[in-house]
Amino acid sequence: MRDTLCLMMMQFVSEEPGNRFTEDGSPYFAEPLIGFAAADDPLFAQYQEVIGPFHMTPTELVQQEAPPWRPATVICWALPISEATRRSNRTETTYPSRPWAQTRQHGEAFNATLRRRVVQFLVDAGYRALAPQLHPAWREYRDSPVGIASSWSERHAAYAAGLGTFSLNDALITPAGIAHRLGSVVTDARFAPTPRTSADHRSNCLWYREGSCGACIGRCPVGALSKEGHDKDLCREHVYGTVPEAVGEKFQVTSTGCGLCQTKVPCEGRIPAGKLPPTTTEGTGSARCQSL
What pLDDT sits at residue 287? 44
pLDDT tens digits along 36-67 = 999 999 999 999 999 999 999 999 999 999 99
CA–CA gap between residue 254 and residue 247 (Å, rounded): 9
CA-nearest of 222, 44, 53, 258 to 149 is 53
CA 3/CA 65 separation, integer angstroms? 28
Gap between the Cα atoms of 16 and 110, Å rounded: 9
Among candidates 29, 30, 119, which has minimal Cα distance to 73?
Answer: 119
> Which pLDDT does position 284 carry in this prediction?
34
Strands across the sheet containing 129-130: 33-38, 73-80, 180-187, 129-130
| Local confidence pLDDT in tens for the 292 residues of the chain | 999 999 999 999 999 999 999 999 999 999 999 999 999 999 999 999 999 999 999 999 999 999 999 999 999 999 999 999 999 999 999 999 999 999 999 999 999 999 999 999 999 999 999 999 999 999 888 776 677 889 999 999 999 999 999 999 999 999 999 999 999 999 999 999 999 988 799 999 999 999 999 999 999 999 999 999 999 999 999 999 999 999 999 999 999 999 999 999 999 999 999 887 776 654 334 445 643 3
Letter string b/e over residues 90-126, b meaning 16 or more CB atoms within 10 A of that residue's CB: eebeebbbbbbbbbbbbbbebbeebbebbbebbeeee
204-217 pLDDT per residue, tens: 999 999 999 999 99
Q: What is this structure's pTM? A: 0.94
> What is the structure's pLDDT at 5?
98
